[in-house]
Structure 1
Amino acid sequence: MAPPRRPPGQLRHTRRRNRSRRRARRVALLVLVGAALVVTGFLTAFGSAEEPGLTAGPGTAARLLPAGPPKPQVIAVASSIELQLPISQSQLTAVGFHPSGAGGLALEPFGRQANEGILARLANRLFGGGGGGLPYVQLGGGGSGPSTGAVDVGALAGTDVYSPVAGTVLGIRDYVLNGKTYGARIELQPAGEPALVVSLTRLRPDPALTVGSALEAGTSKVGTLIDFSTVERQSLARFTHDAGNHVTLEVHAASTLALDQ
Structure 2
Amino acid sequence: MVALLVVLSAVFFVAIALTAFGGTTTPTAAIVPRQSQATVAQTRPATEIVAQRGQVRLQLPISQSRLTAIGYHSAGAGALSLQPVGHQANEGLVQRVVHGIFGGGGGSPKWYQLAGGGTSALDVGAPIGSDVYSPVDGTVVAIRPFVVEGKAYGSEIDIQPQNAPSVIVGVTQLVADPALAVGTPVVSGATKLGRVADLAVVERQALARYTNDAGNHVTVELRAAPVLATG
Report the TM-score when normalising by structure 1: 0.71
Q: Relative to structure 1, is the Cα distance of residues 89 and 151 closer, same or farther in structure 2, using a 3 angstrom cutoff?
A: same
Instruction: Quote the Cα distance in structure 2 between the aligned partners of 1:217 and 1:253.
Output: 20
Structure 1: unaligned runs, 5 residues or longer: 1-60
Report the number of matched residues: 194
- The within-5 A match list for 1:45-64 is 64=37
Provide Cα deviations, 1:223-251, integer angstroms capped at 9, x if missing partner: 00011121100000000021000000000
- The within-5 A match list for 1:238-249 is 238-249=209-220
Q: Of 97, 106, 111, which residue of structure 1 is paired with 2:72?
A: 97
Which residue pairs with 2:153 in the alignment?
182
| Cα deviation, residue 133, structure 1 | 2.0
Provide Cα deviations, 1:28-68, integer angstroms capped at 9, x if missing partner: xxxxxxxxxxxxxxxxxxxxxxxxxxxxxxxxx89933221
**Amino acid in the other structure paired with 2:225:** A
Report the TM-score when normalising by structure 2: 0.80
Which residue pairs with 2:63 in the alignment?
88
Provide Cα deviations, 1:69-103, integer angstroms capped at 9, x if missing partner: 10000000022100010000011000000000231
Structure 2: unaligned runs, 5 residues or longer: 1-33
C-alpha contact 2:157 2:171 (8 A) present in aligned 1? yes
Q: Note if 1:134 corresponds to 2:105.
A: no
Partner SS for 1:124: helix
Which residue pairs with 2:87 in the alignment?
112
C-alpha contact 1:163 1:215 (8 A) present in aligned 2? yes
**Amino acid in the other structure paired with 1:91:** R
Provide Cα deviations, 1:209-235, integer angstroms capped at 9, x if missing partner: 011111110011000001112110000
- The within-5 A match list for 1:8-27 is none
Partner SS for 1:105: coil
**Amino acid in the other structure paired with 1:126:** I
- The within-5 A match list for 1:208-223 is 208-223=179-194
Partner SS for 1:91: coil
C-alpha contact 2:55 2:163 (8 A) present in aligned 1? no
Instruction: Quote the Cα distance in structure 1 between the aligned partners of 2:65 and 2:74.
Output: 27
| Cα deviation, residue 177, structure 1 | 1.2
Q: Relative to structure 1, is the Cα distance of residues 128 and 224 closer, same or farther in structure 2, using a 3 angstrom cutoff?
A: same
Q: Taking every aligned residue pair, what percent have the same amino acid on both sides?
A: 49
Instruction: Quote the Cα distance in structure 1 between the aligned partners of 2:58 and 2:163.
Output: 14
The Cα RMSD (Å) is 1.9
Instruction: Quote the Cα distance in structure 1 between the aligned partners of 2:161 and 2:186.
Output: 9
| Cα deviation, residue 132, structure 1 | 1.6
| Cα deviation, residue 140, structure 1 | 1.3
Q: Which runs of 4+ in 1 moved over 2 A?
A: 61-67
